[in-house]
Amino acid sequence: MEKPPPQPSGTARGGRPAPRRSARSLTDLVFRIRELSIGGALALLILGTYLVNPGFLDDQGVQDLLLNSAILVLLATGQSVVVLTRNIDLSVGSVVGLTAFACGSFVSGTQHSAVTVVLLGTGIGVLCGLVSGLLVSFGRVPALVVTLGMLYVIQGAGHVWAHGRQINAVNVPDGVLELGSGSVLGIPYLPLISAVVLAATAYYLRAYRSGRELYAIGSSPEAARLAGIPIRRRVLAAYAFSGAVAGFAGALWLARFGTVVADAANGWELTVVSAVVVGGIAITGGVGTVLGAALGALLLTTIGSSLVVLKVNPFWEQAITGALLLAAISTDRVVRSRTTEALRKRSRN
């Protein structure tokens, strides 16, 4: 009896594409459409503001826009890795404030280099991330409870330590301030650093198995467990990375502004989460890209800058951000349900 010819990889019997491959192709298409739509909205916003006030895109205006968005893009990159695992980190804003003040206190009146500041800030951030990650992954405490608690603990510790003091730019070494104000070929260092971290994170999530496993955990924790993925270790690593990025951002905050207080970046955690969700990463995990999160951060930053240029009441920035967040969550819900239904129909045919 003649054996049937072998089926090509990723193809079901009868020449139909395997459901898994169909799911991947359809999901990738949704990613691209979402990112293109955000990029288009960003371009229209910039163009509209420029037509009203051409000074918005002069050399100084572009530099200000890049500098204002650099730290938010960085934090959104770190937050994305956590949200992909179906978790959240609400402590990033307080970590930025703590590390900025700690780094400023350490280098104040000294000649320490920018490398020392970056290493110190990143180290503090990793410790904060590990505490949250251990409680979430091994302690099985809900991420919302853990990171909200960490937010208040870090803020309280920072206020007790600072006791009303602030770090003044005149006491910060010139080498540190140069990191925040310097540029290469007219492009400030900070957006270049954010772009490098963003590109490295995107490459890791796409090219490495452990990165792809984060998507699997967010898509279905139970299926990931059955597949042998070390969920606890991956979630712990995601929180450590988010903490490291937040600590790094705190060091850059000191370099950018020079004068800092213990509650710097207070309230930024909600802005970071908004940027991630607006950028296409589903709050339920497993869907989205860090590039989309970065575009979301750029969009929110540009909205704030545009409102200032157009002399619109700053209240509208929060209102618009809230509206975008609600629209993004609703869109994710609709897209997820329609994608599931489309894949179900394909599997039946």
Which among 37, 17, 11 is positioned nearest to 292, based on CA atoms? 37
Q: Does some domain include residue 96?
A: yes
The two tokens of residue 241 are 């990375």
Residue 32 lies in a domain: no
Helix, strand or coil for residue 184?
A: strand
- Supply the range of the domain harboring residue 113: 62-334
Closest CA to 216 of 77, 18, 27, 29: 27
CA dihedral 36, 41, 46, 51 (to 10 degrees): 120
- Assigned token pair, 315: 């209240």
For residue 320, being part of any structural domain is answered with yes
Query: Kind and range of the H or E element at 187?
Result: strand 187-188
Residues 71 and 249: beta-carbon distance below 8 Å: yes
Residues 52-68 as b/e (b if ≥16 CB within 10 A, e otherwise) read: eeeebeeeebeeebbbb
Confidence (pLDDT) at 54: 85
Residue 297 lies in a domain: yes
Tell me what pLDDT residue 93 has: 93
**CA-closest candidate to residue 26, choices 283, 323, 345:** 345
Q: How much is the pLDDT for 321?
A: 77
Burial tier of 270 (Cβ tally within 10 Å: 0-12, 13-18, 19+): middle
> CA angle, 195 as apex, 146 and 324 as ends, to 5°?
60
Q: Do 275 and 71 meet the contact criterion of CB atoms below 8 Å apart?
A: no
With 0-12 CB in 10 A as exposed, 13-18 as middle and 19+ as buried, what is 18?
A: middle
Instruction: Output the six-digit token pair for 200.
Output: 């490295």
Find all residues with CB under 8 Å of 304, minimum gap 6, and list them: 68, 314, 317
CA 299 to CA 208: how far, in whole Å? 29
23 falls within a domain? no
Amino acid 344: pLDDT: 66
CATH number of the structural domain spanning residue 89: 1.10.3470
pLDDT at 62: 86
Tell me the pairing of strands 183-184 and 187-188. Answer: antiparallel
Number of domains composing the chain: 1
Question: What pLDDT score was predicted for residue 315?
Answer: 74
Rounded distance between C-alpha atoms, residue 317 and residue 314, angstroms: 5
Decide if 18 is inside a domain.
no
280 found inside a domain: yes
Task: Tell me if 30 is assigned to some domain.
Answer: no
Residues of the chain with pLDDT under 70: 1-32, 34, 331-349
* Calpha distance 61→104 (Å, rounded): 28
pLDDT recorded at residue 347: 63
The DSSP 8-state label assigned to residue 81 in this structure reads: H
